[in-house]
Amino acid sequence: MDAVQAQPSYSNLGIARLPQSAAIGRWDIVHTICRENWLLNVPITKMGGTVLHLAAYHKQEMIFEQLLQQLRPPGSLLAKVSLKRKNNVGNTPLHYAAEVGSKKICRSIIEFDRAESATLLSFHNDEGETPLFLAALHGYIDVFLYLHFKCHPGREHSNYCTRKNELALIILHLHKDLANLGNKKGITPLHLLASKPSAFKSGSNLRSFENIIYHSFAITNDQELIRQAREKTCQAAADEQNLERLQVTHGAPSETVRKVRMMKVRHTWSVLIMNNLLENASMYQFLQDKERKKDDIDQPATAILIAAKNGITEMVEKILERYPVAMYEEDRDRKNVVLLTVKHNQPRVYELLLLLLLLLRKKNTLKYSIFNEVDCDGNSALHLAAEADFNWPVLGAASQMQWGIKWYEYIKNSMQRSSGLPLLNKNGQTPEEVFTEKHKDLVKIGVPDGVKEVNKNNKASKVLAVSSFVSFCTSLIAVVMFLSILTSVSDVPSFAVG
């Protein structure tokens, strides 16, 4: 009886030493304690994880294999319970092995008991994530492919490269249904892509020199990129070689050339992923649920509205090409694609919508003009263009004001005059009144100090006033002299000169 009581006491001591030994990297002690006390299925962490969870999380592949041998035979109750055991957040050891990218530990778990492998692969944690999902989420393509082909053993296995963009395309190729799959908030992969303007050329602010570099080299073609993603090895060196093989018209690339070149590669991959998503996406993904929208304020805007807001012309054009009805979508503030484009000052998207309008009018397929719509506050596109809540890419208040005026005039000239277009919003303001009110602060900033009444006695202001007067006088003298020279050659005697 005393011997029976002594064993739990020793086990409790072992339980206390296990996490401490793991924390300092003494996995040999961990292995010894587990071998002597059979603690493989006992929670030892605050999150309720076992030593198998710890070893997988810390990617201790050799120790994990040794611990796994203590669970033999594979079909035993201890083996089944230990590998299926979840911690407080629902993760099994296989979840952690996939999360840290340990293909060896994943293979050890799957091969240990093949009869239970399908069950282990199907387990979801508290976030609804499977081991396969975690491998994809963290970009471990070799682990993802291994687990994928264990879930679908009849499919052919290939070698792949390791860039995350390639991984996304491969996942979509293998699991086409994921294009329509959203999370609890209704966010789909296309929503996420529409939120990343830097992933596309239209969202990248390239300087003139960088723009020349961008167009001076060519990626062979889209299919070549896909072929490379499917046929190359998973080594990092191969990734670098793939990048170097791209056809570049420059010689030895400088850092700027290399940066722009890699940017174009990313943009090309983003377009490929976007096209793949649109090919497999359901039309209903581009249409708001009108009934649900009234009650659920958290319902996300459709992908085309997000893309228009962020200025991604590639996505807006492609969505409207495949699903023209998406142009009539509105967000919770009743702003359609035109209103959002104007509000967020996206001239390229606006030009695209104007061209689309002309095309649809020629085909007589336009239900009504989306340019004459108003939002929930009664603001038209011209009202939104009059607002000054956007900083143009220029320096100085005067330049900002000039760009604001140009944008307002551009929208005003592009809109068709219609009797149905309201001139007043719900605040009783015309677009001109909104422009005047919203730009008051910008006007004050742009006025020189010498003009302001409060600074009229300031010494610096007086110097500014005198220098301005002198500049005016010298300019006037220069103009008079220029005119005198210009008219002097037109005297009558001048015409007699051969």
Number of residues in the chain: 498
Q: What is the DSSP string of 136-150?
A: HHTT-HHHHHHHHHH
Query: Are residues 235 and 343 located together in one domain of the fold?
Result: no
Buried b (16+ CB within 10 A) or exposed e, 407-421: bbeebeebbeeeeeb
Q: What is the DSSP string of 107-145?
A: HHHHHH-HHHHHHHHH---TTS--HHHHHHHTT-HHHHH
Query: Are residues 263 and 325 located together in one domain of the fold?
Result: no
Residue 339's contacts (CB-CB under 8 Å, 6 or more residues apart) are 373, 374, 375, 379, 380, 381, 384
Query: Are residues 167 and 144 located together in one domain of the fold?
Result: no
Residue 295 covered by a domain: no
Q: The domain containing residue 384 runs over which residues?
A: 375-447
Query: Are residues 472 and 442 located together in one domain of the fold?
Result: no
Cα gap 319→111, rounded to integer Å: 45
Residue 77 covered by a domain: yes
* CATH value at residue 356: 1.25.40
Query: Are residues 347 and 382 located together in one domain of the fold?
Result: no
What pLDDT does residue 442 have? 61
**Which one, of 56, 247, 265, 272, lies nearest residue 143 by Cα?**
56
Handedness of CA 106, 107, 108, 111 (dihedral sign): positive
Query: Are residues 368 and 473 located together in one domain of the fold?
Result: no
Cα gap 81→236, rounded to integer Å: 38
**H helices then E strands: how many in the chain?**
26, 0
What pLDDT does residue 157 have? 38
Which residue, 117, 152, 187, sits at the end of a domain?
Answer: 152
* CATH value at residue 75: 1.25.40.20
Residue 453 covered by a domain: no
Query: Are residues 439 and 468 located together in one domain of the fold?
Result: no
What pLDDT does residue 335 have? 94
Helix H or strand E segment including 257: helix 255-280
Residue 134 covered by a domain: yes
What pLDDT does residue 496 have? 44
Query: Are residues 219 and 90 located together in one domain of the fold?
Result: no
Query: Are residues 351 and 266 located together in one domain of the fold?
Result: no
Residue 414 covered by a domain: yes
Residue 215 covered by a domain: yes
pLDDT in tens, the chain (498 residues): 333 333 334 355 556 677 778 777 788 888 888 777 777 778 888 888 888 998 999 999 999 998 888 888 877 888 889 999 999 999 999 999 999 999 999 999 999 988 888 899 999 998 888 898 888 777 787 888 788 878 755 444 333 333 555 556 566 655 566 656 666 677 777 887 888 888 888 888 787 777 787 777 666 555 555 555 444 433 333 334 444 444 344 443 567 777 887 888 778 878 887 887 888 776 655 565 554 454 455 667 889 999 999 999 999 999 998 888 888 899 999 999 999 999 998 999 999 999 888 887 777 666 667 888 899 999 999 999 888 665 666 666 666 777 888 888 888 888 765 445 557 889 899 888 888 887 776 656 655 544 455 555 566 556 666 677 677 777 777 877 776 666 554 444 444 444
Residue 224 covered by a domain: yes
Cα gap 278→280, rounded to integer Å: 5
Query: Are residues 126 and 191 located together in one domain of the fold?
Result: no
Query: Are residues 136 and 39 located together in one domain of the fold?
Result: yes
Domain count for the chain, please give it. Answer: 5
**Which one, of 155, 147, 140, lies nearest residue 234 by Cα?**
140
Residue 83 covered by a domain: yes
Which residue, 281, 316, 334, sits at the end of a domain?
Answer: 281
| Residue 163 backbone phi and psi in degrees, to 5 | -80, 145
Query: Are residues 56 and 24 located together in one domain of the fold?
Result: yes
CB 129 within 8 A of CB 100: no
Cα gap 289→463, rounded to integer Å: 65
Q: Where are the alpha helices (DSSP H) in 161-221?
A: 164-174, 189-194, 208-216
